[in-house]
Structure 1
Amino acid sequence: MDSLTQIVLGAAVGEAVLGKKVGNKAMLYGAIAGTIPDLDVYIGKLFNTVTALEIHRGFTHSILFTIVFGWIFGWLISLYEKKASTKEWAKLMFWGFITHPILDAHTTWGTQLFWPLDIRLAFKNIFVIDPLYTLPFLIFLLMAMFQRKGTVKRRKYNNLGLIVSSSYMAITIVIKGITYTKFTHALKEQGIAYKELETKPTPFNTVLWSANVETDDAYLIGYYSFFDTKPIEFYSYPKNHHLLGDYKDDISVKRLIKITKGWYTILEKDNALYLNDLRFGLLSVAPNFQQFAFSFKITEENNKLVIEEVPRDREKAKELVNDLWVRIQGN
């Protein structure tokens, strides 16, 4: 999830664990714990594009990390914060750490909670930024923050934030099941044979959902809003995997394909190949739009393969917000 959400979650968890004893400092250290796992983004900048992608939401989002570094950070904090024991601070940091990857597991990218095992959990029932999850959570946290330490109201407000956010998360799982059924019914009605189907919410909401559908030679992308009155339309994107040629045997390309879980298309343009990761969708919900949120340029320089992530167009991102608002209202 986005940084604000993780800060709010970490602060609320810190308050629940140790707020009665240390007050707002529990929120402070919880918020810090909620952001630490995402330091892997900065570690990834020291490596090439593919390695950085592999590192993200790996070790720092694992149970192993939360246990080991929960104790380390707990011990460090206890050296100068004497109102609680090392064990109590370690408990706070552990819960601040572990709730971060659990929340991330509900997004499209997922998280490698059981690192070093090569298992990435990705339930894909919430977008990384969802105001309906974050804002109520933030409001209740702020209300708790301005109550005296140990009071019933403080605990009540903090618990309400945790309950409301968790309830919304549970509702998104139910919504995902409903929309999955809608997509499978539409595919059956239109006589479309497919190998695999994945669904996910579009940015910032859980009203409009998208589906990636694998067929023999192409991927289909469709959208469904709860306000739709017309049948779901699916738009075709040829796989073009053959365009990789001998590049498909390159270790870096193999690693990149593994990261996409096989959901990718290849585009040839200006003497370069572009590998598009379908899992994160397009930069618009307009019909037959071609620019993907995550695209990687593959070129050869001095007999060496170079893979670079294509920068996202900020203007397109702004257009996406407007397109989403229109499409959410129905087809």
Structure 2
Amino acid sequence: MDSLTQIALGSAVTVAVMGRRTRVGRAVAWGAVAGTLPDLDALVSHGDALLDMVRHRAETHGLVLLALFAPLMGALVARWHGEQALWRRWSLALGLALVTHPLLDWMTVYGTQLLQPFSDRPYGVGSVFVVDPLYTLPLIVGVVVAWRRGADARGLRWNALGLLLSTAYLGWGVAAQAHVERLARASLAREGVVAQRVLVTPAPLQSVVWRVVALPDDPADDRFHEAHVSLADAWVDPARPLRWHVAARGVALLQRHAQAAPVARLSAFTDGFVKLQRTADGHLWLTDLRMGQEPDYVFRFDLGPEATVGRIPVTQQGLRGEIGPMAGWLWARMRGLDVPPPGLTR
């Protein structure tokens, strides 16, 4: 999730655990620090844009490592403020602020390596977008009210309510995601498409419109299918079929370069949701199909000329659609209107 959300979550958790045992401003500040610390790995360069991507949310997001670090951080904070008698409580509060960071990241589609250092497998539910105001605002309101009221009973109740509402929103996202996946699989079956894997993630900033990407069961099939489902569709036109867009993945190129380090690395990280294209200048471009939508994707990597793939550093050049048309399309789809994504109408 975005930094503001992680700061708000870390502060809310720390205030909830510390209660009136310390100054609320102190709990807010240290909770914000703990909520931010795991993402400091983004400042480390691995010398390659693709490596930087797959090594983010790695060791600093390992639940065991963060749990082991918590007592040290708690003891240092307690000593700093002359509250040594509270070091266990500080350790619990900051430990929860630390571990809820990767657990929240796990709810996004990016891929969080929760089991580091024992496994580098990335985990991602994909039921919440990386920035979602409906998740973040209750946390911010609860923390601010608790801070302004000096952690009196009412302020602490507001903070607890913010945590409750934000957690309930995550539950809503999981339920909505499962519903959309059922709709998508049924639609694919009617189309005669046998899908090996189906990815369902929310479109930006909300959880009403969802993006679906389906990979074919046949490994030689070059196509992938993409559609957008709005929960409002059922109210506006229950009989309307899903609008599927079919695009090429570059299966021949993927198979030819499957052992090249960048291709193998991103394919494993994304569970195969990639495409590989050759441009007019002979360069190969490797794309993560999970984040963005056709034809604009956040993680798009230039592997260089085909003859040098895997032997030169990879650079990133993501493509983002224009904000105005995207916002207009998203608002229309949230109301159940059957409008194609702007990228497919350019």
What is the TM-score with the length of structure 2 in the denominator?
Answer: 0.87
Q: In the TM superposition, what whole-angstrom CA distance separates every residue of 1:130-154 from its partner, at most 9, and x where no partner exists?
A: 11111122112211111133x2112
CA deviations on 1:116-175 (whole Å, 9 max, x unpaired) are: 2133221111101111111122112211111133x2112211111111111111111111
**Range with bigger deviation, 234-243 or 156-165:** 234-243
Partner of 2:212: 211
Q: CA deviation at 1:14?
A: 0.7
Which position in structure 2 is the counterpart of 1:122?
Answer: 124
Deviations 1:186-211 (A, max 9, x none): 11222222222121111111100111
- Which of 224, 229, 236 is the aligned partner of 2:229? 224
Give ranges in structure 1 of 5+ residues lacking alignment.
Answer: 283-288
Instruction: Supply the RMSD in Å over aligned alpha carbons.
Output: 2.0
Residues 47 and 77 of structure 1: is their aligned pair in 2 closer, same or farther, counting only changes over 3 Å?
farther
- Pick aligned residue for 2:263 from 230, 235, 253: 253
Unaligned stretches of 5+ residues in structure 2: 339-346
Q: Shift of the alpha carbon at 1:212?
A: 0.8
**Please, which moves more after superposition, 177-186 or 296-305?**
296-305
- Correspondence for 2:109: 108
**Maintained 8 Å contact 1:210/1:221:** yes
Identity %: 29
- Per the alignment, residue 277 of structure 1 pairs with 288
Letter in 2 for 1:316: E
Aligned to 2:344: none
Q: Using a 3 Å threshold, how does the CA distance of structure 1 residues 247 and 120 change in structure 2: closer, same or farther?
A: closer
Query: Does the aligned pair in 1 maintain the 2:254–2:263 contact within 8 Å?
Result: no
290, 311, 329: which one pairs with 2:295? 290
Other-structure match for 1:170: 171
User: How far does the alpha carbon of each residue in 1:94-129 deviate from its partner, in whole angstroms, 9 at most, with x for none?
Assistant: 111011111111100131111121332211111011
AA aligned to 1:297 is D
Partner SS for 1:170: helix
1:16, 1:323 → 2: CA distance?
39
302 and 227 in structure 1: CA distance in 2 versus 1, 3 angstrom threshold: closer
Matches within 5 A, 1:1-331: 1-23=1-23, 24-43=25-44, 45-84=45-84, 85-116=86-117, 117-149=119-151, 151-215=152-216, 216=218, 217=221, 218-228=223-233, 229=237, 230-244=240-254, 247-269=257-279, 270-282=281-293, 289-300=294-305, 304-313=311-320, 316-330=322-336, 331=338
Contact persistence 1:275–1:296 (CA under 8 A): yes
> Normalising by the residue count of structure 1, what TM-score does the alignment of the two structures yield?
0.91
SS at match of 2:206: coil
Query: 2 CA distance for matches of 1:312 and 1:232?
Result: 25
Q: 1:83 to 1:242 in 2, by over 3 A?
A: same
Deviation at 1:268, TM superposition (A): 1.3
Compared with structure 1, are the counterparts of its residues 240 and 113 closer, same or farther at alpha carbon in structure 2 (3 Å cutoff)? same
2:274/2:287 contact within 8 Å kept: yes
Separation in structure 2 between the aligned mates of residue 21 and residue 325 of structure 1, nearest angstrom: 45
How far apart are residue 47 of structure 1 and its match? 2.9
Residue 267 of structure 1, CA deviation:
1.5
Shift of 1:62: 1.0
Give distance in 2, aligned partners of 1:125 and 1:86: 36
Q: Which amino acid aligns with 1:295?
A: R
Return 56-65 or 183-192, whichever deviates more.
183-192
Q: 1:72 Cα shift?
A: 2.4
Task: Give the CA deviation at 1:75.
Answer: 2.6
Q: Provide the secondary structure at the position in 1 that maps to 2:130.
A: coil
Distance 2:157 2:75 in 1: 29
Once structures 1 and 2 are overlaid, which stretch shifts more, 165-174 or 236-245?
A: 236-245
Give the paired residue count: 322
Does the C-alpha gap of structure 1 residues 244 and 168 become closer, same or farther in structure 2, counting only changes over 3 Å?
Answer: closer
Seen in structure 2, the aligned counterparts of structure 1 residues 123 and 302 have a Cα distance that, compared at 3 Å, is closer
> Residues 113 and 120 of structure 1 are in contact (CA less than 8 Å); yes or no, is this contact kept in structure 2?
yes
Distance (whole Å) between structure 1 residues aligned to residue 34 and residue 199 of structure 2? 32
For 1:318 and 1:105, locate their aligned partners in 2 and report how far apart those are by CA, in whole Å.
30
Q: How far apart in 2 are the matches of 1:277 and 1:99? A: 26
Contact 2:58 2:120 (C-alpha < 8 Å) held by counterparts: no
User: Deviations along 1:255-300, whole A, 9 cap, x unmatched?
Assistant: 1222222111111112211111111132xxxxxx422222111104
**Contact 1:237–1:265 under 8 Å retained in 2:** no
